[in-house]
Amino acid sequence: MEDKNIKISELNESTGISRNSLSLLINGKSRGIQFETLEKIVSALNINIGDLFEKTFNNLEIVLHDTQKIIGAKRQPNNKNKSPSKKERFALECIVYEDGIARKGFIPYNLNLEIKPEPKIKVDISLNYSEFYSFFRNLFENDRRLSYIFYDYFVKKVLINEREQIELIKKTFDINTDYIHSSLIGGGSDAYFFVDVDTTDESEKTVNEILTELNTSNIFTTEYTNSIKIYSK
């Protein structure tokens, strides 16, 4: 409600739920909630049910695999246009292991060539068309430094999977591929933000510095090699 600048009176009017019941929920004093009530709230706020709950885990592993072509990705979160798009998209297969339970999905991306002001390769990561939209958004909002680790992992995986296409582009254009410009769409409260991912040794130092900061100040330990592992200390 605070993020969307919605007052309790407005939520009461749009859902028909009494102000008293809403007040108990908001202040954490309600002993339970009916599914019908929950559906009314998420519909009025235009969010997913998972957005109302804090995710907790003991062990988490994020593994990215090969590039796939997918059709019919649905934009997240739930909105008025709920029908899947028929557009064909490239996506990385993603498996998330959370406390021993595996979930498989896809994270679409676009590999673009931008000409002006100078030729550069750009990777746009479309979390807003992924089944893992809410999961990653909540993860990154808890600690934004994790989003940089994810950027680095995702973009380097794309560079490996798309190496033939990138080599073809390099033969035609004078492009410095040490830095790949990237954007993450749907990764948090900021809908769009941009990070340069350095693929040189200097990048590894930066990533290692971030990992050191995370592991010094966080209740979780984060490891980043061929996957991203996060587990309770």
- Domains of the chain: total: 2
Residues 32 and 69 in one domain: no
Residues 192 and 225 in one domain: yes
The 59-71 sheet, strands edge to edge = 192-198, 179-185, 120-126, 101-114, 88-98, 59-71, 228-232, 220-224
Does residue 136 contact residue 48 with C-beta atoms inside 8 Å?
no
Residue 2 lies in a domain: no
- The β-bridge relationship of strands 179-185 and 120-126 is parallel
Residues 22 and 96 in one domain: no
What domain range includes position 191?
59-232
User: Model confidence over 69-100: pLDDT tens digits?
Assistant: 988 666 665 444 455 556 788 999 999 999 98
Residue 53 lies in a domain: no
User: Model confidence over 41-80: pLDDT tens digits?
Assistant: 999 998 877 777 765 788 999 999 999 998 866 666 544 4
pLDDT at 79: 45
Q: What percent of the chain has pLDDT over 70?
A: 83
Residues 177 and 106 in one domain: yes
Residues 141 and 170 in one domain: yes
Residues 69 and 147 in one domain: yes
Q: How far apart are alpha carbons 19 and 29 in whole angstroms? A: 13
Q: What would you measure as the largest C-alpha separation in the chain, in angstroms?
A: 66
Q: How far apart are alpha carbons 112 and 93 in whole angstroms? A: 19
Q: Take residue 113 and report the two structure tokens written for it.
A: 């060539």
Q: Take residue 93 and report the two structure tokens written for it.
A: 């297969």
Residues 12 and 124 in one domain: no
Residue 19 lies in a domain: yes
pLDDT at 32: 82
Residues 23 and 82 in one domain: no
Residues linked to residue 181 through DSSP beta bridges, in sequence order: 122, 196
Q: Residue 170: what are its φ and ψ, rounded to 5°?
A: -65, -30
Residues 163 and 111 in one domain: yes
